[in-house]
Structure 1
Amino acid sequence: MSDTSSDGLNRRSLLRAAAALGGASLVSACGGLKGTGASSSDVLRIGYVSPQTGPLAGFATADNFVVKRIQEAMRDGFTAGGKKRRIEIVVKDTQSNPNRATEVTRQLINSDKVDLIVGSSTPDTTNPVADQCEANGIPNVTTIAPWEAWFHGRGGKAGQGFTYTTLFFFGMREFAECFFPMWQRMDVPNKNVAALWPNDTDANAFRQGLGPMMKKAGYTPVDGGAYQGGATDFTAQIAKFKESEADLFTCTPIPPDFQTFWKQARQQGFKPKLATVAKVMLFPSEAEALGELAADIATDFWWTPAHPYKSTLDGTSARQLADAFAADTGKQWTQALGSVYSLFEIAIQAFKEAGDPKDRDEVASRLRSMKISCMSGNLDFTTGPHPGIAIQHPVGGQWRKGERFPWDVVIVDNSGNKDVPVGGDLRPTNA
């Protein structure tokens, strides 16, 4: 496969330019239809939606690389429905806006005529994308959103699930299995947990789901209040947390809000002994932005180079994928790398398993019944809390000064997933 299309333009440059403009880029595993002699039935189009720009852009750092890797892995095509097929990928940027996510998903369905849509990163993306796919009968799989926020946030019916839309990630129980063991290892005078939960779909899932689990486990959540995203002054929340004498801290804000909060917390003297955060500090860029204040902040890790998982497409290991990303981009791996890669693994597997990969109902059925061991581990969409949801099991990791890059992750607790080795001791965030 050549990296240059028939008009002489570099494909990667096209992809990056389109992403920077918030537009779409159409790329193909075999260079497109021109000159291939392929009919439209030979080509399977996958739409990909993610927040490549805006406050959630950290989630999409690996997108261009993953699309390129999928192109390379699929350059010779594959057999589905008794004939050779080729993949085309149409990339759309939500600009971190749920309304934009709805708009670009409609474009994929109505204008780009895709056969399946995948999407990633927070309910601001996954929910509007899935809603459009469900309404229009388009097979869909998304990831990196707590299943409760995805399922209940879309009005899912217990035990029934959705017809066309599926998800792999985890939920409140898995967050508890990740965070609670780290809390238990801290010697703290009380079990008050400061909780910075804004008023959005994600945080409300934590407030309504993790909050009761905390109480059942003997912890007392100290809710800072349902503030609106984009806040610039967290003095009231910090005062409440200090008054409660909470030595444990958790949160689910958007990344820019956490950066603001954490700096103000240090300035105003709120220094919890252990911070276990969600939705933020998932990526190296966030640790770099905080500098010294990033040290020993803990969060959930559902994919790292240490995870013992491999690609279904070419056998690449998690470590090899992370190393290839660094070699190709000069950047550090992010855990979204594994998740986005698996979106395409799952999509291609559904096409392969379908008698007719152009039959949307059949492909959707294959997604709902899928069991696959892939870059994101062993995923079973039939045994989740509801049909069409596959559960991952995160482990606890902390940010430490790195060697090759400014900050790196050390896995400090694998209570939730023994497949992943522990790489170091749990340390207090603030001694």
Structure 2
Amino acid sequence: MDNTPGTGFSRRSFLQTVGMGAVALGGSSVLSACGGLKGTGSSASDVLKIGLVSPQTGPLASFASSDSFVVKQMNEALRKGFTAGGKKRMIEIVVKDTQSNATRATEVTQQLINSDKVDLIVGSGTPDTTNPVADQCEASGVPNVTTIAPWEAWFHGRNGTPGEGFQYTTLFFFGMDQFAECFFPMWERMGVESKDVAALWPDDTDANAFRDGLGAAMKEQGWNPIDGGKYQNGAADFSAQIAKFKKSGAELFTTTPIPPDFQTFWKQAQQQDFRPKLATVAKVMLFPAEAEALGQLSNNIATDIWWSPSHPYTSSIDGTTSKELATAFAKDTGNQWTQALGSVYSLFEIAVEAFKKADDPKDKDDVAEKLRTMSYTGMSGPLDFTKGPEPGIAIQHPVGGQWRPGTEFDWDISIVDNSANTEVPVGGDLEPTNA
């Protein structure tokens, strides 16, 4: 890495900008480092440009750790192009990094729309990415699909009109009902006497959706959320919350923080002797890097699993199975699969499906309408954007998994409860987080 004083630009940053910032799929066109199309052999109308926005750096970077691999996979799978609007099209992808910052997400989306002139934008990685990206696309009339954000945080956080939805922006993921379907069965199976559930929810879009939505669902099902109180992301001391949880006697725990905050909290909880019988967490402990960072403290932490090598799904582009995709990722990168791998892959599947279905893939209104009415099956399973809960939202059904010491890698996920999606096979028994 070049750290020469005054350069302001590292070799790593340069490689990211040139190597991933603009990737042409299909081999008919490549973007030069300074920006123009070279050696195309085809007109600009034959090239469909997709912008990918995700947090490749910063505290949410784990959500984007598989992005470059997925872009590479799309390059290979679509190298010969495909037919859309009556003629052959090639795909070009322009990648932007939000740096885990919502303001930056807005800026780079504007760049994609105004400078890169993309035909469609995809985005992933919590409402800090999905919401500002979708807002810019909606305002500018650019087709958009995002993922990995609770639908309530995405829809209500953007002031969506119930029953109408948005014209240009769509989402696939799940919401509070699905979190309940995933977490509640595991809570029941723990056989705890108390119905109190310690809940660590910060003051942000994601967690407030949980506070309002999951909190209400818990009460309806007889559970009592012990809310630790709103706090700002980046907190360094969770002693007050831990004391409240201990006083309640809660044996169950749930949370929706940013990953660094959970690591801080969980270490302090162990030090201060708050050891719930079962921890079911969201937004955190979704990816191997987080389990590795906590080491033995990761053991039997449970989380929601919406995609894994065990999911019985295949690519709508080339028939690659979930297991094959995970294996290819490990072979290519030396790293363990992540849930975002399947989700980001599906973003491109959906983009291609919309282009193929449109009479004119260059007509943004036409493509947006195809997104809103899409129903297809691919790497993330069956997705129907017409079913709702609101127009333009497709729901997934996560299963329960727990982190345990692995064989090939230090830590691995074992599927321990498939109550919400019996298509996914169970791979182990549900065990207490703290016996």
Q: TM-score, normalised by structure 1?
A: 0.95
Which one-letter code corresponds to 1:115 in the other structure?
A: D
Q: Classify 1:230/1:20 alpha carbon distance in 2 versus 1 (closer, same or farther; 3 Å).
A: farther
Shift of 1:34: 2.2
Aligned equivalents of 2:424, 2:20: Cα separation in 1: 37
Alignment of 1:14-413 (within 5 A): 17-18=13-14, 20=16, 25-31=21-27, 32=29, 33-413=37-417
Match of residue 6 from structure 2: none
Shift of 1:23: 10
Residue pair 1:18, 1:24 contacting (<8 A) in 2 also: no
Shift of 1:48: 0.2
Match of residue 4 from structure 2: none
Shift of 1:15: 12
Aligned equivalents of 2:366, 2:26: Cα separation in 1: 25
Aligned equivalents of 2:411, 2:92: Cα separation in 1: 36
Aligned equivalents of 1:23, 1:98: Cα separation in 2: 24
Aligned equivalents of 1:357, 1:112: Cα separation in 2: 17
Cα deviation per residue 1:295-314 (whole Å; 9 max; x = unaligned)? 00000000000000000111
Match of residue 429 from structure 2: 425
3-state SS of 1:185 partner? helix
3-state SS of 1:387 partner? coil
Q: Classify 1:121/1:23 alpha carbon distance in 2 versus 1 (closer, same or farther; 3 Å).
A: farther
Residue pair 2:20, 2:68 contacting (<8 A) in 1 also: no
Shift of 1:36: 2.9
Q: Classify 1:67/1:23 alpha carbon distance in 2 versus 1 (closer, same or farther; 3 Å).
A: closer
Aligned equivalents of 2:403, 2:384: Cα separation in 1: 30
Cα deviation per residue 1:126-183 (whole Å; 9 max; x = unaligned)? 0000000000000000000000000000000101000000000000000000000000
Aligned equivalents of 2:25, 2:276: Cα separation in 1: 49
Aligned equivalents of 1:143, 1:412: Cα separation in 2: 24
Residue pair 1:18, 1:25 contacting (<8 A) in 2 also: no
Aligned equivalents of 1:108, 1:383: Cα separation in 2: 30
Deviation above 6 Å: which 4+ runs of structure 1? 21-24
Aligned equivalents of 1:189, 1:361: Cα separation in 2: 55
Cα deviation per residue 1:374-418 (whole Å; 9 max; x = unaligned)? 000000000010000000000000000000000000000000001
Unaligned runs of 5+ in 2: 1-9, 30-36
Shift of 1:17: 4.4
Which one-letter code corresponds to 1:89 in the other structure?
A: I
Unaligned runs of 5+ in 1: 1-13
Residue pair 1:303, 1:338 contacting (<8 A) in 2 also: yes
Residue pair 1:22, 1:92 contacting (<8 A) in 2 also: no
Residue pair 2:172, 2:393 contacting (<8 A) in 1 also: yes
Q: Percent identity?
A: 73
3-state SS of 1:347 partner? helix
Q: Classify 1:25/1:57 alpha carbon distance in 2 versus 1 (closer, same or farther; 3 Å).
A: same
Residue pair 2:53, 2:109 contacting (<8 A) in 1 also: yes
Matched residue pairs, number? 418
Which shows bigger deviation, 75-84 or 14-23?
A: 14-23
Shift of 1:187: 1.9
Aligned equivalents of 1:27, 1:317: Cα separation in 2: 24
Shift of 1:189: 2.2
Which one-letter code corresponds to 1:27 in the other structure?
A: V
Which one-letter code corresponds to 1:265 in the other structure?
A: A
Which one-letter code corresponds to 1:192 in the other structure?
A: D
Shift of 1:37: 1.3
Shift of 1:30: 2.6
Which one-letter code corresponds to 1:335 in the other structure?
A: Q
Which one-letter code corresponds to 2:362 in the other structure?
A: K
Aligned equivalents of 1:100, 1:22: Cα separation in 2: 19
